[in-house]
Amino acid sequence: MRLNRYLASCGLGSRRSCETLILEARVAINGEICMDLSTRVQAGDDVTCDDRRVTQREVQVVILHKPLGFTTTSKDEGGRKTVYDLLPPEWSHLRYAGRLDRESEGLLFMSNDGDLINRITHPRHGMEKEYDVYLEKPFLREKKAVLLNGIQIPEGHAKMESVDFITRRHAQVILKQGLKRQIRQMFASMGCPVRRLIRTRIGHLTLDDLAPGRWRALSESQVAGIRKRLS
């Protein structure tokens, strides 16, 4: 296994951030500093980072149906409830892939694998996220092209991969980007504030019958399937 991937599997971050650790001469194999990104870790190798031994973690992946009123953060300065209040205490170390704001609902992917989180969230991997969007006002369907071509918002040039209107107040949206409050800002800029926003799918993972506030741990075979789709 390549060294950067090994470090990522130890929970030290994404493969790219682990490459930085290597190039900064902070990683050693069997007592020797290693700065060669092509190095492969062999069975029995002793790997350290900042003089501390690191070992591969058992990969944990959880999908959670985030309900309204919960913040997607490990600690809320205002004392509000967070998504971690819905999980067992021993899973407080899990990271989330793609924040949902307090007013939004739906599928949240969480894992202790930094590389897996990065591959799901970074736009270059093209992972689809699907949303049910309910609007305060009817939307003019003839303006749909504007959403597909893109709108400038404070976070950058925001565009939707697809938009299907079930009614003039209800749309199904697919994104490959992940800009902050992207869907809300795009519709608001066109005079149609979002009333309700639900993320229903990430890649091939869906909410299915998962009730709000409930979570489900994925099996090893399901995690392997996710990796295969991202490879």
Catalytic center residues? 101
One DSSP character per residue, the chain reads -BHHHHHHHTTS--HHHHHHHHHTT-EEETTEE---TT-BPPTT--EEETTEE--PPPP-EEEEEEPTT-BSSS--TT---BGGGGS-GGGTT-EEES---TT-EEEEEEES-HHHHHHHHSGGG---EEEEEEESS---GGGHHHHHH-EEETTEEE--SEEEEEETTEEEEEES---TTHHHHHHHHTT--EEEEEEEEETTEE-TTPPTT-EEEPPHHHHHHHHHHH-
